[in-house]
Amino acid sequence: MIALIGTRLAEHLGYSALAVAIAALIAVPIGLFVGHTGRGMPLVAGANALRALPSLGLMTLLVLLFGLGLMPPIVALVILAIPPLIAGVSSGIRSAGASAVDAARAMGMTESQILWRVEVPNAGPLIVSGFRGAALQVIATATIAAYVNLGGLGRFVFDGLAVYDYGEVLLGAVLVAGLAVLVDGLLALAARLLAPGAGRARLRGPVRASA
């Protein structure tokens, strides 16, 4: 059973990581553009509308269109991961503040330099928050990939339901919840470490203690 859990966990993480990576390739450039230029806000609104799509219904539709296999659930997971990523990146870029951006322009920085040297460094926590939302959405939804005969932790849930083994169902649910909590905690820690001034705060701590 331990070996099977490890296999299912690796499958679940693989599906989730692949979906978030593909979604990031699509969403991050859009978020950077919208946040920096202030244009394209309808894209953000349209992306947020995707959150209303029912996960199982979307996956079933994609299976009907493309057949069984890895592509339908991955496409569904990518669609669900895009909205929080766009929202997190665009909000993070806008959080740099007009005064900092204006000061950078006054110093002669190009728009590209402003984006990467001023806005992105300040956007770290909110960008990671976008990845947190996407990761949690994908990890939870990847459970139903087992509904279309794929692996992952959802196999425990659907296989258990098929034979009325509710212990196996509970095992699958607990494993998915535990994985989500672990990933959320790691990304929360990353957001805290990326917060502006976090490094200076850590450096000041020992000085105060020695004083």
Q: 150-159 pLDDT, tens per residue?
A: 888 999 998 9
Q: Which two tokens stand for residue 123?
A: 């956007």
pLDDT at 179: 94
39 — alpha (psi -120 to 50), left (phi > 0) or beta?
A: beta
Judge whether 186 and 128 are in contact, CB under 8 Å. no
Query: Which one of 3.40.50.300, 1.20.1630.10, 1.10.3720.10, 3.40.50.1100 gives the CATH number of domain 2-200?
Result: 1.10.3720.10
Cα–Cα distance, 164 to 137 (Å, whole number): 27
Q: Which range among 16-25, 91-100, 120-129, 159-168 shows the weakest confidence by mean pLDDT? A: 91-100
Kind and range of the H or E run holding 70: none
Distances, alpha carbon 180 to alpha carbons 19, 103, 117, 119, in Å: 15, 41, 32, 29
Q: Give the pLDDT confidence of 135-176 residue by residue, as tens digits.
A: 999 999 998 888 877 888 999 998 999 899 999 999 999 999
Q: Which two tokens stand for residue 98?
A: 């007009």
Q: Give the pLDDT confidence of 44-98 residue by residue, as tens digits.
A: 788 777 777 788 788 888 888 888 888 888 999 999 999 999 999 998 898 877 7
Q: Give every CB contact of residue 27 below 8 A, 6+ residues apart in sequence.
A: 47, 81, 82, 85, 86, 89, 130
